[in-house]
Amino acid sequence: MSSSTAAPRARQIVAAVIGNALEWYDFIVFGFLAVVISRLFFPADSEYSSLLMATATFGVGFFMRPVGGVLLGIYADRKGRKAALQLIIAMMTVSIALIAFAPPYAAIGLAAPLLIVLARLLQGFATGGEFASATSFLIESAPPNKRGLYGSWQMFGQGLAVFAGAGVTALITRNLSPEALDAWGWRIPFMIGLLIGPVGLWIRRHLEETEAFLEAHKAPAEKQSIARMLRNHLREVFAVMGVTVCGTVGFYVILVYMPTFATKQLGMVLSDAFTAQVIAVALMTILMPVFGALSDRVGRKILVILAAAGLLVASYPLLSWVHAAPSFERLVTMQIVLCILLAVFFGPISAVMAEQFPAGVRSTGLALAYNVAVMVFGGFAQFIVTWLIHTTGLAIAPVFYVMFAAALGFVSALFLTDRTKVAHLAAVDEEIPAPHAGHDGRDGVILPRTAVNRA
């Protein structure tokens, strides 16, 4: 690769990943600081009620994701990936600014929690369109034989954002007094996120539109609608939704909930639980681009199937083994095995999901399937696993939710179309059958061989 092409491609990767990373950074920071935010913005008769209102506010963003995903997905498919990416990161920046500068309840009363709710609604709306629009841009910008590798950087960015959010929050909570933290310290992580926003906006303003999108809009096509997209791509939507359930449940249970499980159900020290988590997540983050690149050689579908099967088979015996004799060694071993399986899954998942839809409806289809699955199965994950433990009386009950999601992901992956091999020859859209030149009969556009993505 020449230096003249390496720089634009590096800029494309950063442009696509930075918004998704900012989303997860904000997600982690808000979650870690929920106790402080609840005191300052949601005062109530009891600490429990105050925290409950703050966490509920945190959750409202999930309900806006499908709405934002569909509307911004349509916008990206009509106006372009670049336009959508700029709009999304601008909204993200505004939402973070609202939180960072919001006066507390003691200063402005009821307007304070309303500002936080508004910020979470706006953030949820924006992030609903971020993954689909950024993934579409990333996959369409990639060399045809490196889409797995390029797509994996989305998930890699999420991993780094989780580390950054956790690291910044840990630093301020350990080095500031409770009084300083409540007075001004809690704003520091949001201020740092606020600095990222303008940088991302500047990068995205200097991008070029993808050739796949431009070619799709050269050909005559009927006006898009959600109903038409669903009618023509219903199988793809359900397949992507199913594998997303596997990924989102794996993320929230294995990565987010496991430290809580280790302390509450296994009686382990919180520091040991977080140390095991850091080791396993670090390994997973490093391995995701490796498996993304591997998917460009061996195929994406087979890796997703193997990873889902591995989670289905390994989760119960591993969790039972740790529960039988809790120890740091057993916990870290279990987390490493599960996180390696997640790396196999997450490495190719962005590319394979994007490849299910032609360019003309890629952002819309991906946004709808992805965000509905995340809202229902990810947003309610902690509620579901808590209910399972209470209902069954089993400490390892969360494993049943993971197994359900893995089974659904395995079956759904069987219905994915693997376009890895043909991607070495031409853009994905070229391979979707068409009744006549230039149009696929299902709202997608067929690229001629001369229109292979050269970005």
- Domain segments of the chain as ranges: 9-215+227-425
| C-alpha distance from residue 96 to each of 112, 118, 240, 244, 337 (Å) | 14, 11, 30, 26, 35
CA 257 to chain centre: 16
Helix axis angle, 328-354 to 270-298, nearest 10°: 40
What is the Cα–Cα distance from 412 to 382, expressed in whole angstroms?
A: 23
Q: What pLDDT, on a 0 to 100 scale, did the predictor assign at position 223? A: 54
C-beta atoms surrounding 6 within 10 Å: 10
**The predicted structure's pLDDT at residue 393:** 87
Are the CB atoms for 386 and 374 separated by under 8 Å?
no
**E strand or H helix at 400:** helix 398-414
pLDDT computed for residue 5 by the predictor: 53
What type of residue sits at position 343?
A: A
pLDDT of residue 316: 95
Residues of the chain with pLDDT under 50: 1-4, 426-455
176: DSSP letter = S
Indicate the DSSP class of residue 222. Answer: P
- Beta partners for residue 436, in sequence order: 439
Instruction: Evaluate the CA torsion angle 358, 361, 362, 365 in order and state its sign.
Output: negative
Q: Which residues pair with 439 in a beta bridge?
A: 436
Average of per-residue pLDDT values in the chain: 82
* Residue type present at position 306: L
Q: Domain 9-215+227-425 in CATH: superfamily?
A: MFS general substrate transporter like domains (1.20.1250.20)
* Residue the block writes with tokens 């759904």: 412
How far apart, in whole angstroms, are the C-alpha atoms of residue 17 and residue 34? 26
Please count the other Cβ atoms lying within 10 Å of the Cβ belonging to residue 411.
Answer: 15
- Whether 63 and 124 have beta carbons less than 8 Å apart is answered as yes
Could you tell me the sign of the dihedral formed by the alpha carbons of 308, 313, 314, 319, in that order?
Answer: positive
Kind plus residue range of the DSSP H or E element containing 437: none
What φ, ψ does residue 321 adopt, rounded to 5°? Answer: -65, -45
Cα–Cα distance for residue pair 208/423, rounded to 1 Å: 21
The token duo for 71 is 């509307």
Q: Is 4 exposed, middle or buried (0-12, 13-18, 19+ CB in 10 A)?
A: exposed
Beta carbons of 285 and 275 less than 8 angstroms apart: no
- Whether residue 54 contacts residue 114, with contact meaning beta carbons closer than 8 Å, is answered with no
pLDDT score of 433? 46
* pTM as predicted: 0.79
